[in-house]
């Protein structure tokens, strides 16, 4: 808080900043509640109004959010269906009572005093995620938030209270969860994928309350689908998928890689049971499902494109040592490994393949030499440029044909020489 700025009313630090400080975690952002004032008084003091649905203001120096204490009333389905009331008569306790979880309903006064009307400190000590009141069921986003907090705090031993999970199941059964908008689903999922050591807990929590089948039915359908135990000792495809997203998190991979790890095996849910535990052509079957998820959740265009490539090509990457030089060349081209501006995307696909290989029981730290093999092959092929071909007198379409021929020849020499010393892991 900036002492030079006079804040009208009583000001309290609330929410995640208080929770994380009590847990000994780093605090990345701070939110404030102001009691006993009006929007006009806040603006007169120099705060900038930014809230559309209820009064929220930005501090002119820190840019931190200051919201007026408020209450809310459900008026329609979904998380937009609320009427908010904020004036100088709303108390801090009333504001805290409308929050989702007890651990998020603790406030701290300027002198350090904690205001905790919902028992959040006890639940922090007991490592429990518990709803504040039955009003929890009015906002479907809270299902996603609980799952996200479960994932983020799983390393500390937190779990969802049985009665809270029961309310979440009720929200699924009543259809409240069906009112979630795609952008909010993807945003909460992205935060869970990026800010959790074990993002799998997010999806497992949604599955435990039945929400995964509504939000990501393509992922939910993977559970109970067996795979070959020699390649996948964990057997269950759903479990494998969760191990993959956790492997991507362990590698500190960017969000796009974690997303690729989540959707790469969707095609296995379409394998006829009579063919189990084999999954021939699952990579081809999976591409339309990946596209459908991307369209429904309005996933960024880059994520859609790379997840489609990874889904289609991940088996080719796993068995790259078996490919003949021309097939290796064409794979590199499809992965973006032969185009300089796309090398970063190429690296992301390799990281996702690595997460797939390590998302298996007993293989969490296995070597994955395919990555170095493909990097070396791509660098070698890229060293042969079109300008070299043009310098030798080729023109038009003959340039591309000759460039491919020369690169394949170089890859053949690579496979026979240095490439032969780089191992390979089956998948």
Q: Give per-residue pLDDT as tens, 141-180.
A: 999 999 999 999 999 999 999 999 999 999 999 999 999 9
Task: Answer whether residue 342 shows pLDDT above 90.
Answer: no
**Can you tell me the mean pLDDT for 61-71?**
87
Percent of the chain beyond pLDDT 70? 93
Q: Are 330 and 398 in contact (CB under 8 A)?
A: no
Which pLDDT score is estimated for 85?
A: 67
Q: How confident is the model at residue 75 (pLDDT cuts 50, 70, 90)?
A: very low
Q: Are strands 107-108 and 114-115 parallel, antiparallel or unpaired?
A: antiparallel
3-state secondary structure 117-163: CCCHHHHHHHCEECECCHHHHHCCHHHHHHHHHHHHHHHHCCEECHH
Q: How confident is the model at residue 393 (pLDDT cuts 50, 70, 90)?
A: very high
Listed range (17-21, 74-78, 194-198) with the worst mean pLDDT: 74-78
Q: How confident is the model at residue 425 (pLDDT cuts 50, 70, 90)?
A: very low
**Can you tell me the mean pLDDT for 322-336?**
97
pLDDT tens for each residue of 29-51: 899 999 988 888 988 888 988 87
Q: Are 371 and 318 in contact (CB under 8 A)?
A: no
Listed range (78-87, 147-156, 360-369) with the worst mean pLDDT: 78-87
The encoded tokens of residue 47 equal 């705060």
Considering 56-60, 62-66, 79-83, 147-151, the range whose residues carry the highest mean pLDDT is 147-151
Which pLDDT score is estimated for 422?
A: 66
pTM to 2 decimal places = 0.90
Task: Answer whether residue 72 shows pLDDT above 80.
Answer: no
DSSP H helix total and E strand total for the chain: 19, 11
Which pLDDT score is estimated for 83?
A: 58
Q: Which CATH superfamily is domain 1-125 in?
A: Beta Polymerase, domain 2 (3.30.460.10)
Burial class (CB in 10 A: 0-12, 13-18, 19+), 106: buried
Which pLDDT score is estimated for 53?
A: 67
Average pLDDT over the chain reads 92
Task: Answer whether residue 386 shows pLDDT above 50.
Answer: yes
Listed range (83-97, 180-194, 200-214, 254-268) with the worst mean pLDDT: 83-97
Task: Answer whether residue 424 shows pLDDT above 70.
Answer: no
**Can you tell me the mean pLDDT for 69-89?**
63
3-state SS of the chain: helix, strand, coil percent to 5?
55, 10, 35
Residue with tokens 């908008």: 181
10 Å Cβ neighbour count for 90? Answer: 18
Helix-helix angle 200-208:237-250, to 10 degrees: 150
> What is the domain partition of the chain in residue ranges?
1-125
The C-alpha atoms of residue 101 and residue 226 are separated, in whole angstroms, by 37
Task: List strand residue ranges (DSSP E) for 102-240, in order.
Answer: 107-108, 114-115, 128-129, 159-160
Which pLDDT score is estimated for 29?
A: 86
The C-alpha atoms of residue 407 and residue 402 are separated, in whole angstroms, by 9
Which pLDDT score is estimated for 117?
A: 96
């Amino acid at each position: 808080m900036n002492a030079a700025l006079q804040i009208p009313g009583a000001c309290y630090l609330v929410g995640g900043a208080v929770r994380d400080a009590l847990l000994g975690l780093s605090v990345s952002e701070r939110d404030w509640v102001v009691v006993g004032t009006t929007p006009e008084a806040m603006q007169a003091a120099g705060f900038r109004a930014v809230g559309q649905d209820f009064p929220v203001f930005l501090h002119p120096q820190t840019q931190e959010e200051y919201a007026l204490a408020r209450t809310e009333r459900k008026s329609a389905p979904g998380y937009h269906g609320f009427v908010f009331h904020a004036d100088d008569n709303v108390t801090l306790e009333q504001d805290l009572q409308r929050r989702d979880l007890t651990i998020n309903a603790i406030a701290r006064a300027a002198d350090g005093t904690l205001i905790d009307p919902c028992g959040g400190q006890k639940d922090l000590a007991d490592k429990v995620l518990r709803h504040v009141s039955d009003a929890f069921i009015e906002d479907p986003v809270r299902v996603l938030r609980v799952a996200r907090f479960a994932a983020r705090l799983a390393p500390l031993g937190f779990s969802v209270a049985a009665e809270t999970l029961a309310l979440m199941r009720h929200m699924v059964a009543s259809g409240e969860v069906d009112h979630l908008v795609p952008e909010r689903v993807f945003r909460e999922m992205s935060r869970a994928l990026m800010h959790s050591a074990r993002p799998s807990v997010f999806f497992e929590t949604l599955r435990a309350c039945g929400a995964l089948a509504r939000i990501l039915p393509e992922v939910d359908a993977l559970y109970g689908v067996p795979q070959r135990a020699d390649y996948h000792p964990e057997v269950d495809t759903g479990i494998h998928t969760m191990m993959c997203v956790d492997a991507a998190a362990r590698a500190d991979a960017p969000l796009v890689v974690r997303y690729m790890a989540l959707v790469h095996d969707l095609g296995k849910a379409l394998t006829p049971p009579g063919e189990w535990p084999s999954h021939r052509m699952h990579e081809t079957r999976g591409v339309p499902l990946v596209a459908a998820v991307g369209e429904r959740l309005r996933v960024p265009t880059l994520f859609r494109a790379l997840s489609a490539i990874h889904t289609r090509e991940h088996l080719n990457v796993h068995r790259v040592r078996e490919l003949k030089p021309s097939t290796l060349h064409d794979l590199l081209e499809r992965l973006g490994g032969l185009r300089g501006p796309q090398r970063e995307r190429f690296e992301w696909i390799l990281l996702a393949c690595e997460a797939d290989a390590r998302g298996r029981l007993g293989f969490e730290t296995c070597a994955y030499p395919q990555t170095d093999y493909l990097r070396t092959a791509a660098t070698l092929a890229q060293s042969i440029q079109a300008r070299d071909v043009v310098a030798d007198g080729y023109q038009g379409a003959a340039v591309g044909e000759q460039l491919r021929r020369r690169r394949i020849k170089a890859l053949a020499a690579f496979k026979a020489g240095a490439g032969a010393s780089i191992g390979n892991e089956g998948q």
